Structure formats: structure tokens, C-alpha cells
């Protein structure tokens, strides 16, 4: 017995790509490679920007907690504490390596 139905082919749909957005136009998207140094260190400006963003995120989490959103504010608090712990561990490691 032969099946009397045909498989319907579905053409793939194209979704427009999201626009790439940059938070700070003064910071280059990619650092220029240097021949003298193969390690790409963040600039002082990039480190300061991250610090400012963390402070804004912290204030946002406090506002969320004040408005009763304990789930999201708790998640933010946990993530920021993890960043602080990781930074502290990195600092301790650099101190140990510096004393050698």
C-alpha cells in the first residue's frame, strides 16, 4: 500500500541580525597586536570602566531588592560577591608570585 501524502518542505526563514552595540565608543573593540608583547593586557581605562559598571549593577540590585525583587537582586549580589572573591584571590596570587 502506497502512502498518499507528500512531505512538506519548509523553507528556512531569515531573521535579521541584531545590531552590534558598543557601550563605550572610546574603547577599541579589539586591541591592536603588538610585536613586542604577545600578552594582551587590559588598559587602565578598561579596568576603570568595568569598575564603574559593577558599581551601577550594584546600585541596580539594591533598587531591585527595595522593590521586592529578591530573586534577581540576590542573583546580582551573588555574582558581584564572586567577582570580588576572584579579584581577591588574584591579588593574593600576585602577591605570592611577587615575593619569590
What is the predicted pLDDT for the residue at 42? 94
Report the pLDDT averaged over residues 41-59: 96
Q: Which residue has the higher pLDDT, 48 or 8?
A: 48
Q: Closest Cα to residue 79, out of 64, 93, 58?
A: 58
pLDDT digits (tens, 9 = 90+) for 70-80: 999 999 999 99
pTM more than 0.85: no
Q: Given this model, what pLDDT does residue 26 score?
A: 67
Over residues 17-35, mean pLDDT: 60
Task: Answer yes or no: are the C-beta atoms of 27 and 49 closer than 8 Å.
Answer: yes
| Residues 76 and 61 sit within 8 Å (Cβ to Cβ) | yes
58, 84 in Cβ contact below 8 A? Answer: no
22 pLDDT more than 60: no
Of 38-42, 44-48, 69-73, give the lowest mean pLDDT range: 38-42
Amino acid at each position: 500500500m502506497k502512502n498518499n501524502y507528500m512531505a512538506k518542505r519548509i523553507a528556512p526563514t531569515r531573521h535579521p541580525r541584531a545590531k552590534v552595540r558598543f557601550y563605550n565608543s572610546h574603547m577599541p573593540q579589539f586591541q591592536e597586536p603588538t610585536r613586542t608583547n604577545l600578552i594582551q593586557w587590559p588598559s587602565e581605562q578598561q579596568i576603570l570602566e568595568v569598575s564603574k559598571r559593577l558599581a551601577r549593577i550594584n546600585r541596580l540590585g539594591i533598587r531591585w531588592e527595595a522593590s521586592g525583587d529578591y530573586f534577581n537582586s540576590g542573583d546580582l549580589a551573588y555574582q558581584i560577591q564572586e567577582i570580588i572573591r576572584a579579584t581577591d584571590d588574584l591579588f593574593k596570587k600576585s602577591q605570592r608570585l611577587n615575593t619569590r
